[in-house]
Amino acid sequence: MIAMETSSTTQIVESLTRAIVEHRLHPGTKLAEQKLADHFGVSRTLVRQALFQLSQNRLIRLEPARGAFVAAPSVEEAKQVFAVRRMIEAEMTRAFVRQVTPGKIKALRDHVAQEKLAVTHKDVAGRTELLADFHVRMAELMGNQVLAEMLRELLSRCALITLMYQSTSAAEHSNEEHADIVKALAAKDEETAVRLMNEHLQHVEKGLTFDRQLPTNDLSLALT
């Protein structure tokens, strides 16, 4: 019974995380416990457990007497998230160059090819997930699961930030920059790879417009 409850909670967490990361659930959306319980066919207790986990990951905020809402990162938080990413990913890139192998490069090239396909086919959800996963994939290929988990959390928060503040889609440009980073990694050119990674993250941040009107969304539509 406990295993089933854990599985149900995990399913709710994963479904809501995916909906947030793929921009189907927008910042500020109210996550009604009963509506979620009905949707997933579980008790409100399991829903509360899932919402608590998501609040720990900063993807939602819990407000006393009001309920749960998809988090809406402030401008300052958005800038801090990108600052942390630049610090972490610069060192990750250096470390990756030092342990690069043909197999790891092939895995990254395959990933970049999937990104390009999603961009070409205008698969918004697919390209959003793939473009973010490129960075996590680097950590996974290094065998560093702690780093991969940290990046997943940061990138989930970045998905909210880009939804709130990104002025135009820069998916195609990001895909091209990922391809350039892989070329530098394959050449074992550490300085170029680090420079390209930093420039890439700076370009994404510069593409954010911090005075735009924030979007809203409906829970039922997001989870269908």
Q: Which of 205, 215, 217 shows the shortest CA–CA distance to 75?
A: 205
Please report where in the chains the tokens 């608590």 appear, as a residue: 52
> For residue 18, which amino acid is it?
R
% of the chain surpassing 70 pLDDT: 85
Structure tokens belonging to residue 148: 């991969």
**Residues 9 and 50 sit within 8 Å (Cβ to Cβ):** yes
What's the mean pLDDT in 163-192? 85
Q: Which of 100, 103, 68 shows the shortest CA–CA distance to 181?
A: 100
Q: How confident is the model at residue 85 (pLDDT cuts 50, 70, 90)?
A: very high
Q: If residue 30 lies in a helix (H) or strand (E), which one and from where to where?
A: strand 30-31
Is the predicted pLDDT of residue 79 greater than 60, yes or no? yes
Structure tokens belonging to residue 31: 């996550």
| Angle between helical axes of 75-98 and 124-141 (0-180°, round to 10) | 50
Give the chain's domains with CATH numbers: 2-72 (1.10.10.10), 75-206 (1.20.120.530)
% of the chain surpassing 90 pLDDT: 54
pLDDT higher at 150 or 159: 150
The confidence score (pLDDT) of residue 166 equals 57
- Highest-scoring range by mean pLDDT, 6-15, 102-111, 169-178: 102-111
The confidence score (pLDDT) of residue 56 equals 84
pLDDT higher at 191 or 157: 191
Please report where in the chains the tokens 């066919």 appear, as a residue: 41
Mean pLDDT score across all residues of the chain: 86
Q: Which of 189, 196, 181 shows the shortest CA–CA distance to 109?
A: 181
